[in-house]
Structure 1
């Protein structure tokens, strides 16, 4: 019975933690992409993240237009998830420094997974409803543009066909596999690995 409650506790912590981490990373991407903050979805993300992000910004300033406070908050959220899951699972007090490294790797894997899934959604919608002006789709296009733009400079579109997503998919997959390898070399426990999002295949 104790093990059951422990698993439930880890599940709740992981679910709430990853949802908030998702919001924080989206907030970072919004800032990086200079996306429309008047979009209703953007407004929702801002409201969710502001209570923790505003005080942190007084301590952690932005650097070259990069919202460092959001990255630090994401790292802290991952660290709390890891330490909390270790405690709830009965693993005892995990090494805080190791947990910080695992959090860094987990946050990066989650960010890559968000981009990967976002690209899949964007591509599917471009086939089904290319002219859609739904706020979520418009925001998704804005968030993905900074990822596509550097690749387009090297590999321009073939007529009306933009092949940059293919190469971005490859780069994201390679990056994810490298991070998984680093996680294994850093002795990341399976419990910790399961707390974060990953590329689905």
Structure 2
């Protein structure tokens, strides 16, 4: 693989992964019932609308979930992996890997899904120290993202004099899912690490 191919893979994965993140965020924001009128939510919707709108005609929502966004995220991941393999010199072998690429794409999107919540929790913890009760649109969106993850732990763990330790247990749970489920699935299916930056 030449230096030019390596640079092309880097650019492809960086820009492609950024768009993949935005597409998956659209699904997640709807999943957690985040504020649609938040400026950041509006940005996510506008950035993904050109591709999601035509897909919505073919893929209806289910129980209030935007399945078109989720399918688009898997398709974007699949295309990123296929193009990366092409640049790595696999060529015609990609057609033989079509089934595996689909499975790897689902694993990659699931891994990113978990990491979105993981990093949202980190941001939420930092904000609770430096800007508690902030009305910044970004802070509000992060809190709306974290609430469904933290809620089960808050029910189980008593409040320790105003100290909320539920994020610690949420971090542990997310890391265990990532290591034991996603990591093992990737290993079992023979997924190369360089295909997904989120693995």
Question: In 2, Cα distance between the equivalents of 1:162 and 1:131?
Answer: 14
Matched positions, count: 195
Question: In 1, Cα distance between the equivalents of 2:31 and 2:162?
Answer: 27
**1:142 corresponding residue in structure 2:** 144
Give the stretch that moved more between structures: 72-81 or 56-65.
Answer: 56-65
1:9-158 equivalence runs, <5 A: 9-92=8-91, 93-94=93-94, 95-158=97-160
Question: In 2, Cα distance between the equivalents of 1:102 and 1:38?
Answer: 34
Question: In 2, Cα distance between the equivalents of 1:149 and 1:190?
Answer: 33
How far did residue 130 of structure 1 move? 0.6
**2:164 corresponding residue in structure 1:** 162
Give the stretch that moved more between structures: 45-54 or 151-160.
Answer: 151-160
C-alpha RMSD of the superposition: 1.5
Question: In 1, Cα distance between the equivalents of 2:85 and 2:107?
Answer: 17
**Which of 175, 189, 197 is the matching residue for 1:186?**
189
Gaps of 5+ in 2: none
The TM-score, its normalising length taken from structure 2, stands at 0.92
Structure 1 counterpart SS, 2:164: coil
The TM-score, its normalising length taken from structure 1, stands at 0.91
Structure 1 counterpart SS, 2:90: coil
Question: In 1, Cα distance between the equivalents of 2:128 and 2:193?
Answer: 37
Question: In 2, Cα distance between the equivalents of 1:75 and 1:196?
Answer: 15
Structure 2 counterpart SS, 1:58: helix
User: Structure 1 residues 59, 150: CA separation in 2 closer, same or farther (over 3 Å shift)?
Assistant: farther
How far did residue 189 of structure 1 move? 1.4
Confirm or deny: 8 A CA contact 1:119 1:165 kept in the other structure.
yes
